[in-house]
Amino acid sequence: MNGHLLSILLFLPLAGLIPLLLIPSDQKRSLKLCANAVMLAGFLLSLLLVFQFDAAAAGYQFTENAPWIPSIGASYNVGIDGISLLLVMLTTLIGFLATMSSWSAVEDRLKEYYALFLILQTGMLGVFISLDLFLFYVFWEVVLIPMYFIIGIWGGPRRLYAAIKFFVYTLAGSVLMLLGILTLYFQHAQEYNVYTFDLARLLNTHMAMGAEQFVFWTLFLGFAIKVPMFPFHTWLPDAHVEAPTAGSVVLAGVMLKMGAYGFVRFSLPLAPHAASEPWVVNTIATLSIVAILYGALVCLMQKDWKRLVAYSSVSHMGFVTLGIFALNYNGIAGGMLQQINHGISTGMLFLIVGVVYERRHSREISAYGGLAHVMPNLAVVFAIAMWSSAALPLLNGFIGEFTILAGAFAANKLWAVLASLGVILAAAYLLWLYQRTMLGEVTHEINRKLRDLSLREWAIFLPLIAWAVWIGVYPKPHFDVLDKPVRAIVERVTGGAR
Amino acid sequence: MLPALALASFGCVVLLLEFLLGKARAAAARQWILGLSLTGLAVTAWTLWAQQQALDGRRLTAFSGAISVDGFALFFNWIFLVASLVTILISYRYLEIEGEEHAEYYGLILLAQCGMYFLATGTDLVTIFVGLELMALSFYILVGFLRGERRSNEAALKYFLLGVFSSALMAYGFSLLFGVAGSTRLKDIGTAIQAGDLHDPILLMGLAVTTVALLFKISAVPFHMWAPDAYEGAPTPVTAFLSVGSKAASFALLLRFFLEPLGALRDAWQPLLVAVAVLSMTAGNLAAITQTNLKRLIAYSSISHAGYMLLGLVAGNETGLQGIAVYVLVYTFTNLGALLVVAALRSKGAGRGTEEDLNDISGLAQRNPAYAALMVVFLLSLAGLPPTAGFIGKYYIFLSLIQTGHTVLAVIATLYVAVAIFYYFRIVKRMYMGEAAERASLISSSLGVRVALGITTAATIVIGLYPEPFLRFAEISLLR
C-alpha cells in the first residue's frame, strides 16, 4: 500500500463520491457523515506521509510514475518534496475542517454540495503532487469547476456575478499558462527530439531568452491571477465574500497557495534566467509591496467583516510573493512557510466570520460589538487568529513574516522597510476589527442571545490553533523539510543567473 | 464503394417504404422502419470495417481515380456513421412528439450520409460535386421537416437559397480549376498547378471562388449567416446531424482540397484562412454571448469551432492536421451530446411549443439532475476544459500554432476559451441556479435517447481521460 500512498490519498475523495451518490438525498445526516468521514480518512492518511517523510533526502519522495498518454509524452507522475508535503497537509486538514464547518451551515442540496467538495479536494491535492505538467494543468483546471458551483449555488446575494467572474478571470490566466507549458514542451522537443511533459526532463531545456521570457510571463499570468497579485486581484474580494464559509476557507486556505506554489515549483526552476533578471525581480517585488500596502489600507476602510478578511489575503499573499522573488534562501523558505501560516490564520478568520454569520446573518462590522461578553470562547479563538495573522511573536505569522523580511532585507533594504509597514498596518486593521466587534459594551440587544462556540466548532478550531502555536514556538521541523527543496531552487536560480 | 452502396440502397428502400406500404400501414410499421434504418447503418459499419482491414495503411483508388479510399476517408466515414446513428436514435421519439413520423426522414438521413461518403472519398471534381449536392439536397428537406412550423419552413428556405448559391459558386470554381488543369481529377489539377504559373489570375480566381463555397459549407465567417437560422428552425435531431455530419464532411473536403491540389498555393490561401479563422472565433464567440435560444447559441459556438479547426490548417504541420482530426472527432460526440439534451427537452403536452430557450432549461438540475450534469460535461468539453474530450482537441490546435510560431494567433485562440466559458456557463447558471420555469418542459427519455446519451457521454469522458487510442486512430487516418 505504501508504494501507492499518494495515489490513494489523491483518489480517496473521488472514491468517496460513490457512497455519497448512493445515499438518498433526504438522508441529510448520512450524507454529512459520509463526506466528513471521507475527508477525515484523507487527513489521517496524509499523516502517514509526515511520519514516513525523510527530510534529509533530496529530490521527490513517494514517487509514482505510469504512462498515461504516451503519444504526447504525458504521464501519471506524482511525488512530493518538503514544499508539497506542507501544502498537502494543509489541504487535507483545511479540506476536512471546511467540510465539518458546513455541518449546520448548509442544509440545501447537500448531496451536490459535498460531492463538489470531494472533487475539489482531489483537484487541489493533484495540483500539489503532480510532477508532470500536463497532469498538473488538468488538475489545475479541474479545481475551478467545483468552486464555481460552490460559490454560485450556496453563495451570498451577488453569488452569480462572483462565481462567473472568478471562473472567467482565473481561466483566462490558466489558458495562457497552457501556452507557456506548450512552448516549453516544444522547446524541449527541439533540443532533445523527445516530446515529454515530465518536469524533471523539462528542467534540462535550454531556451533562447525570448522563448524563456514567453514561458515565464505566460506562467506568471496564470499564477499571479491565482495568488492573486496586485493588479489581478479584483476577482478575489467578490469570490471570497460571496462564497459560503467553507468555500472561502478553502479558497483562501488552499487555492491561493496554488499560485505561489506554481511560482516556486515551475516558474523559478523552469525559467531561471528570465525570473532572475533585475527588472523582472524589481517589477514583481514592487507589485508585491503594492499588494501588501494597498491590501492593508483597503482593509482599514472595510465595513464588511468578511471583505476585510478577504483583502487581508491580498496583503498577506503579497508577503509570500515578495519572499519568493527575493530569490534567496530566507525569502523562499519564509514564503513557503508563510503560505501555510496564511492558510491557518485566514482559514480561522473566515471560520470565525462563518460562526458569527450563521447565528446572526450579518457581516456588517457595525452589527456587532462587545461580543466578548456574549461569546467569550469565540473571543479567545478570534484573539489567537488575529495575533497569528498580525504576526505576533510565539505564533506562526511572526516566524513566516520575519523570515521573509530577512530575505527581503538581504535582497533590497527598501523592500524590507516598505513591507514592514505592512506588518504595522496589519496589526492596526486587525486590532481595530477586534475592538469594534468583540470589545466594549454589547451594542445590539439582539446579540445578547448569541450562542457561544459548540463542541463541534471547538473541534474545528483546535487543530488550527495547535498548528499555529507549533510553528510559532518550534518551527524547526517545518524549516527542516523545506531546507533541501528551497536550497535546490535557490541554487538553480542564482547559479543559472551567472 | 460498398458503404456508399449500402447507404444508397437502404436509403432508397426506406425512402420509398411509405409509398409502397401506403400511409396507414407505414404508420403501423414505424418501428420496423427504424429497425431497417439501423440495419442499414450496421451494414455500412460492417463494410467500413472490412475496408479498414483490407486497407492496411494503403490507399485504394477506384473508378480511374474518381474516388480514393484511404485512412483519411475512413476516419471521416466513421464520424459520419456515429453522427447518423445518434441522430436516428434520438429522432424516433422526437418525431413522435412532433407528429411528423414519416419514413422519408430516415431515408434522407441515410442518403445524406451517402453524400458525405463521397465528400470524404471523392478525388474528382464531378464526384465531389455530386456527393455535395446529394448531402445538401437531403438537408434542405430535413431542415424543413416540421411542415407545420413556421420557423422550420423559414429555416429551410433560407438554407436552401444560400446553399444553392454556394453550390453554384462551387461549380463555377470547379469549372475554372478544370479550365486551368484540363482534368477533373484532383491529382492532375495538383500537378498542373505545380507545373504552371502560380500567379495565374484564372487559377487564383478558381481558388478564391472554391474557397468561398467551402467556407460557406463549414459556416465560417463571413459566410456563416445561414447557420443560426437553419440550426434554430430545424428539428433538433437534424440540427445535431447538420452541425456535426455536414460540418465534418465539408471539413474532409476542405482538407483534401487545400492539402492536395491547392497545397502549392499555400502562400495565397494561408493569410486568407488566418483572417477567416480569427473572424469566425470572434464573431461566433461574441454573438453567442447574447443568445437566449439554446440552438442559436450552439450555432454561434459552432461557428467559432470552425475557426479553431481552420487554425489547425493554418498551422498546416502534422500536429495541426492531427489536431483537426481529433477536434472533429471530439466535436462530433460533444456537440451531438449537447444537442441531444436540448432535443430531450421537447416533450408532449407541456413541452409542445417550447422554443428551446434558456427558460426551458432553467432549474433543470432540480428536475433532472442527471441530464443537467451531462449537459455540464458537454459544455465543458465544448469550451475545451480538461478533463473532458474538448481539451484534447484544443490542445493539438494550440500546440500546432506554437510549433509553427503563430504565437499571436495562439494567444487569441486561448483567450477565446475564457469568453466561451462565459456563455456556455450561462446555460449552466440557468440549470443550477435558476428557478424552474412555469412551463418547464419535462425530459422525455426513451431507450434511443438513453443509448445515444450513453455513447456521447462515454466518448466525451473517455477521450478526455484516456485519449491514447483515439489519438492513434486520428494519427493513422492522416497518414497517406
Residue B387 Cα, gap to closest chain A Cα (Å): 6
pLDDT at B440 over 60: no
Q: Is residue A179 part of a domain?
A: no
* Contact call for B414 and A176, based on CB within 8 A: yes
Distance (Å) from the alpha carbon of B254 to chain A's nearest alpha carbon = 26
- Mean pLDDT across B298-324: 91
Q: pLDDT, tens digit, for every residue of B26-74?
A: 667 888 888 999 999 999 999 999 888 887 767 777 777 788 888 888 8
Q: Do the domain assignments include residue A155?
A: no
Residue B226 near residue B155 (C-beta atoms within 8 A)? no
Task: Judge whether A174 lies within some domain.
Answer: no
Q: First-to-last CA distance in chain A?
A: 44
CA closest to A138 among chain B residues: B386
Q: What pLDDT is recorded for position A348?
A: 93
Beta carbons of A182 and B402 less than 8 Å apart: yes
Domain assignment of residue A291, yes or no? yes
Of B391, B433, B471, the CB nearest to A71: B471
> According to the model, what pLDDT value does residue B355 have?
66
**Is ipTM beyond 0.85?**
yes
* pLDDT (tens digit per residue) in A364-393: 888 888 888 888 999 999 999 999 998 888
Site from A25, A71, A169 to mutate, B interface, most B CB atoms within 10 angstroms: A71
Select from B326, B367, B428 the residue whose CB has the most chain A CBs within 10 Å, as the one to mutate to test that interface: B428
Contacts of B432 in chain A (CB under 8 A): 149, 152-153
The alpha-carbon gap from B382 to the nearest alpha carbon of chain A, in Å, equals: 14
Q: Which of B386, B402, B419 sits opposite A179 (nearest CB)?
A: B402
Lowest mean pLDDT among A372-381, B458-467, B470-479: B470-479
- Inter-chain residue contact B415 with A182, CB threshold 8 Å: no
Mutate to test the interface with A, among B409, B425, B462, B466 (most CBs of A within 10 A): B425
The cell numbers describing B260, all together, are: 492536395
Residue A164 in any domain: the answer is no
pLDDT at A494: 84
* pLDDT for residue A408: 92
Interface of A with B (CB under 8 A): 68-72, 112, 137-138, 141-142, 144-145, 148-149, 152-153, 159-160, 163-164, 167-168, 171-172, 175-176, 178-179, 182-183, 185-186, 214
Torsion, Cα of B77, B80, B86, B91 (10° steps): -130
Residues of B within 8 A of A145 (CB-CB) are 380, 385
Q: What is the pLDDT of residue A441?
A: 85
Report the alpha-carbon distance of residue A285 to residue B248 in Å, rounded: 50
Single-letter residue type at B60 = L
Q: What is the pLDDT of residue B444?
A: 63
SS (H, E, C) chain A: CHHHHHHHHHHHHHHHHHHHHHCCCCCHHHHHHHHHHHHHHHHHHHHHHHHHCCCCCCCCEEEEEEEEEHHHCEEEEEEECHHHHHHHHHHHHHHHHHHHHCCCCCCCCHHHHHHHHHHHHHHHHHHHHECEHHHHHHHHHHHHHHHHHHHHHHCCCCHHHHHHHHHHHHHHHHHHHHHHHHHHHHHHHHHHCCCCCEHHHHCCCCCCHHHHHHHHHHHHHHHHHHCCCHHHCCHHHHHHHHCCHHHHHHHHHHHHHHHHHHHHHHHHHHCHHHHHCHHHHHHHHHHHHHHHHHHHHHHHHCCEHHHHHHHHHHHHHHHHHHHHCCCCHHHHHHHHHHHHHHHHHHHHHHHHHHHHHHHHCCCEHHHCCCHHHHCHHHHHHHHHHHHHHCCCCCCHHHHHHHHHHHHHHHHCHHHHHHHHHHHHHHHHHHHHHHHHHHCCCCCCHHHHHCCCCCHHHHHHHHHHHHHHHHHHHCCHHHHHHHHHHHHHHHHHHHHHHC
Q: How confident is the model at residue A497 (pLDDT cuts 50, 70, 90)?
A: very low
pLDDT of residue B169: 93
- The predicted model gives B359-383 an average pLDDT of 88
Task: State yes or no: pLDDT of A1 exceeds 60.
Answer: no
Minimal C-alpha gap between A9 and chain B (Å): 19
Element (H, E) at B67: strand B67-69
Interchain contact, A137 vs B429, CB within 8 Å: no
Residue A331 and residue A309: Cα distance in Å, rounded?
24
Q: Which residues of A touch B425 (CB under 8 A)?
A: 148, 164, 167
Nearest CA of chain B to the CA of A168: how many Å?
5
pLDDT, greater one: A400 or B350: A400
Contact B402 A148 (CB under 8 A): no
> Domain tally for chain A?
1
Residue A360 has pLDDT above 90, yes or no: no
Give the whole-angstrom CA distance, residue A398 versus residue A106: 34
Helix B71-98 vs helix B30-55: crossing angle, to nearest 10: 170
Which secondary structure element, helix H or strand E, spans residue B445, and what is its range? none
A153 contacts B432? CB cut-off 8 A: yes
pLDDT higher than threshold 60 for residue B333:
yes
pLDDT of residue B477: 60
Please give the model's pTM, rounded to 2 decimal places.
0.93
**CA distance to partner chain A, nearest, from residue B399 (Å):** 6
Q: Give the mutation candidate from A136, A167, A182 for the B interface (greatest B CB count, under 10 A).
A: A182
Provide the domain limits for residue A387.
278-498
Tell me whether residue B94 is exposed, middle or buried, using C-beta atoms within 10 angstroms of its C-beta: 0 to 12, 13 to 18, 19 or more: buried
pLDDT (tens digit per residue) in B137-190 = 999 999 998 888 888 889 999 999 999 999 999 999 999 999 888 888 888 888
Residue in B379, B358, B238 with CA at minimum distance from that of residue B294: B358
CB-based contact A289:A252 (threshold 8 Å)? no
Flag if A168 and B429 touch (Cβ within 8 Å): no
Please report how the helices B201-217 and B266-289 are oriented relative to each other, as an axis angle in degrees rounded to 10: 30
Backbone φ and ψ for A67, nearest 5 degrees, come out as -65, 145
- For chain B, what is the mean pLDDT? 88
State pLDDT tens for residues B161-171.
999 999 999 99
pLDDT score recorded for residue B353: 52
Determine contact, residues A383/A431, Cβ cutoff 8 Å: no
C-alpha cell at B124: 474528382
Is A438 among the domain residues? yes
Overall size of chain A counted in residues:
498
Which string of DSSP letters, residue by residue, matches B315-376? Answer: H-SHHHHHHHHHHHHHHHHHHHHHHHHHHHH--SGGGTT---BHHHHTTHHHH-HHHHHHHH
pLDDT at B104: 87
Please give, rounded to a whole number of angstroms, the shortest distance from the CA of A131 to a CA of chain B. Answer: 17
- pLDDT-derived band of residue A40, with 50, 70 and 90 as boundaries? very high
Instruction: State how far the Cα of A361 lies from the Cα of B354, in Å rounded to an integer.
Output: 40
pLDDT digits (tens, 9 = 90+) for A252-297: 999 999 999 999 999 999 999 998 889 999 999 999 999 999 999 9
Residues 43-72 of B with CB under 8 A from A: none
Using CB atoms, pick whichever of B365, B386, B422 lies closest to residue A137. Answer: B386
Question: How far off is chain B from A56, nearest CA to CA, in Å?
Answer: 36
Instruction: Quickly count: other Cβ atoms within 10 Å of residue A198's Cβ.
Output: 19
Using the predicted structure, report yes or no on whether residue A2 has a pLDDT greater than 80.
Answer: no
Mutation for B interface: A110, A179, A218, most B CBs within 10 A: A179
Cell of B451: 443509448
Collapsed DSSP state (helix, strand, coil) of residue B223: coil
* Model confidence pLDDT, tens digit, residues A88-135: 999 999 999 999 999 888 888 888 999 999 999 999 999 999 999 999
With pLDDT > 70 as the criterion, what percentage of chain B qualifies? 94
Q: What is the mean pLDDT of residues B362-367?
A: 83
Which member of A159, A168, A186 has the closest CB to residue B422?
A168
Residues of B within 8 A of A72 (CB-CB) are: 395, 471
The answer to whether residue A131 is domain-embedded is no
Query: Given this model, what pLDDT does residue B116 score?
Result: 94
Question: B375: distance to nearest CA of chain A, Å?
Answer: 14
| pLDDT the model gives residue B350 | 44
pLDDT of residue A444: 83
Percent of chain B at pLDDT exceeding 90:
52
Domain for residue A419, yes or no?
yes
